[in-house]
């Protein structure tokens, strides 16, 4: 199931990015003491006790004025509100309640979502009493916090997580392969869904961004059950960035989290652009099996070298996903469409592949014998043994004498040897080095 979504909203300069950074534990958002400096919506993952969630940091909402930046961040926040399960409404104890805060509250009333008010900059005891005026906003929960000191964050997360929807069991069985289609608008994802299903179940239009939300479609082929999760197209930054379709990034991320296999769909006519890397990166970072699907191949002018050249271009652009196979097809004419599902089956199987420990260690031993581990200041890396600890994605722990001695190039060498021995086609392979302890 997709994680619950928390959106942090509020007028500019109340400290949303600072709180966002504290919750996700990383310095991703730009923090600067100027109104409106966070011009982009940012996504992260947070955790409180045993509850994981996605979190959105929005640009500040400014109701009055038509300044381009303020219009942009207002729309981002409105879209974040639309998608969130819980909203953190941030205000500023130092400045007190403003007319803009009241305007933002009006926007949040219409959302009809759980709202927790976080009064930031409660940096000392004298400021504690300043939070009470914000009860007049009409929301029941008011939490005083300090982004600079980190106080009150636990209380805030406690209040937020109690509003999360009750977790439900996955609605599909283990034998069902869940396939998410992601890609820029107008690459033909909905047409591809229709072609696979053989019927017009998803609206298809030449207008980019027609599919506004994720749509689940179960079907069965040759005894194998599937669910296709179609998502709205992801847009690049620029003039189209402020449109509602751009908000499909979060929806696509939700779809990716639920999927077993992700189809990264390209438009064969247009080729590859920078945004495609970001889109594919979401699937890679989530540890999902992936297939590059080049659609509209029927309209591409080609000779006997075109496909090889396009594949090489994909490999050059996606060095971090050399494991993903490439399928060329046309959703419109159904050319080569029959090749897609067998590849989906194969990468799903590889994604769930588990290697017996003794067989894995034989491969690691052979690899070490061929190419000795590196040394650092006279100390040599020693690999005691390896074990696969999970699947989806396959994850391997190497127990070593000192993880600091594991150079990334040697880890990549071992990954290549493991892939050569066992395949793992279409799936990321995660390898971690851990110091061997007495318990191990």
10-residue mean pLDDT profile of the chain (440 residues): values are: 82 86 68 46 77 79 60 68 87 90 86 92 84 90 90 94 74 86 82 81 46 66 88 45 47 79 91 78 89 94 92 92 96 94 97 97 96 89 95 96 92 96 96 76
- Distance, CA of 42 to CA of 166 (rounded, Å): 25
Q: What is the per-residue pLDDT for 170?
A: 56
The answer to the question of whether 371 is labelled as a binding residue is no
The answer to the question of whether 121 is labelled as a binding residue is yes
Q: Architecture of domain 177-351 in CATH? A: 3-Layer(aba) Sandwich (3.40)
CA distances from 285 to 322, 347, 382, 413, 417 (A): 14, 17, 29, 20, 22
Q: Is the dihedral of CA 70, 75, 78, 84 positive or negative?
A: negative
The answer to the question of whether 342 is labelled as a binding residue is no
The answer to the question of whether 277 is labelled as a binding residue is no
The answer to the question of whether 96 is labelled as a binding residue is no
Angle at 350 between CA 346 and CA 353, to 5 degrees: 140
CATH of domain 5-161: 3.40.50.300
- Which among 121, 127, 129, 125 has a CA at the least distance from the CA of 146? 121
CA distances from 320 to 44, 324, 334 (A): 21, 10, 30
The answer to the question of whether 29 is labelled as a binding residue is no
**What ranges do the domains of the chain cover?**
5-161, 177-351, 357-435
The answer to the question of whether 112 is labelled as a binding residue is no
Q: What is the per-residue pLDDT for 258?
A: 83
Which residues make Cβ contacts (< 8 Å) with residue 32, sequence separation at least 6? none
- Distance, CA of 256 to CA of 262 (rounded, Å): 7
The answer to the question of whether 189 is labelled as a binding residue is yes
The answer to the question of whether 140 is labelled as a binding residue is no
The answer to the question of whether 186 is labelled as a binding residue is yes
- Which among 108, 180, 169 has a CA at the least distance from the CA of 137? 108
Is the Cβ–Cβ distance between 254 and 214 less than 8 Å? yes
Q: What is the per-residue pLDDT for 83?
A: 76
The answer to the question of whether 325 is labelled as a binding residue is no
The answer to the question of whether 437 is labelled as a binding residue is no
- Distance, CA of 278 to CA of 40 (rounded, Å): 15
The answer to the question of whether 59 is labelled as a binding residue is yes
- Which among 431, 433, 425 has a CA at the least distance from the CA of 353? 425
The answer to the question of whether 184 is labelled as a binding residue is yes
The answer to the question of whether 147 is labelled as a binding residue is no
The answer to the question of whether 38 is labelled as a binding residue is no
Q: Is the peptide bond before 393 cis (omega within 30 degrees of 0)?
A: yes
Q: What is the per-residue pLDDT for 383?
A: 94
The answer to the question of whether 46 is labelled as a binding residue is no
The answer to the question of whether 218 is labelled as a binding residue is no
The answer to the question of whether 10 is labelled as a binding residue is yes
The answer to the question of whether 296 is labelled as a binding residue is yes
Q: What is the per-residue pLDDT for 401?
A: 93
Q: What is the per-residue pLDDT for 328?
A: 97
Tokens of 113: 């979502």
Q: Which residues pair with 43 in a beta bridge?
A: 56
Q: Which CATH number fits domain 357-435: 3.40.80.10, 3.50.50.60, 3.30.300.20, 3.40.50.2000?
A: 3.30.300.20
Kindly give the pairing relationship between strand 289-295 and strand 261-267. parallel
Angle at 70 between CA 69 and CA 76, to 5 degrees: 90
* Same CATH fold assignment for domains 177-351 and 357-435: no
């Amino acid at each position: 199931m997709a994680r619950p979504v928390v959106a942090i909203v509020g007028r500019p300069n109340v400290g949303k990015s600072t709180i966002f950074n504290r919750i996700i534990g990383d310095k991703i958002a730009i923090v600067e003491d100027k109104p409106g400096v966070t011009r982009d919506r940012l996504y992260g993952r947070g955790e409180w006790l045993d509850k994981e969630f996605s979190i959105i940091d929005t640009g500040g909402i400014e109701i009055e004025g038509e300044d381009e930046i303020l219009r942009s961040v207002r729309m981002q926040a409105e879209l974040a509100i639309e998608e969130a399960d819980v909203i953190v409404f941030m205000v500023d104890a130092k400045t007190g309640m403003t007319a803009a805060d009241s305007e933002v509250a009006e926007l949040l009333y219409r959302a009809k979502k759980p709202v927790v008010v976080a009064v930031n900059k409660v940096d000392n005891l004298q400021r504690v009493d300043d939070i009470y005026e914000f009860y007049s906003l009409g929301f029941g929960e008011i939490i005083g916090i300090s982004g600079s000191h980190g106080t009150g964050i636990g209380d805030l997360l406690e209040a937020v997580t109690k509003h999360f929807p009750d977790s439900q069991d996955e609605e599909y069985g283990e034998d069902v392969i869940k396939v998410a289609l992601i890609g820029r608008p107008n690459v033909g994802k909905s047409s591809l869904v229709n072609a696979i299903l053989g019927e017009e179940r998803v609206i298809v239009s030449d207008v980019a961004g027609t599919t506004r939300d994720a749509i689940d479609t179960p079907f069965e082929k040759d005894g194998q059950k599937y669910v296709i999760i179609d998502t709205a197209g992801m847009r690049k930054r620029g003039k189209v960035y402020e449109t509602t379709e751009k908000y499909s990034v979060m929806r696509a991320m939700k779809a990716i989290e639920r999927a077993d296999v992700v189809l990264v769909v390209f438009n064969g006519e247009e080729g590859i652009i920078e945004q495609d890397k970001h889109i594919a990166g979401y699937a890679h970072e989530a540890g999902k099996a992936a297939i590059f699907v080049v659609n509209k191949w029927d309209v591409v002018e080609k000779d006997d070298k075109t496909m090889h050249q396009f594949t090489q271009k994909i490999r050059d652009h996606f060095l971090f996903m050399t494991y993903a196979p490439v399928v060329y097809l046309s959703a419109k004419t159904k050319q080569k469409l029959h090749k897609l599902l067998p590849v989906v089956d194969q990468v799903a199987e590889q994604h769930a592949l588990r290697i017996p420990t003794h067989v894995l260690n034989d491969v690691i031993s052979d690899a070490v014998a061929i190419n000795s581990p590196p040394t650092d200041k006279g100390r040599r890396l020693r690999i005691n043994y390896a074990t696969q600890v999970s699947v989806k994605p396959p994850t391997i722990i190497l127990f070593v004498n000192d993880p600091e001695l594991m150079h990334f190039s040697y880890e990549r060498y071992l990954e290549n040897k493991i892939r050569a021995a066992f395949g793992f086609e279409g799936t990321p392979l995660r390898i971690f080095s851990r110091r061997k302890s007495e318990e191990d």
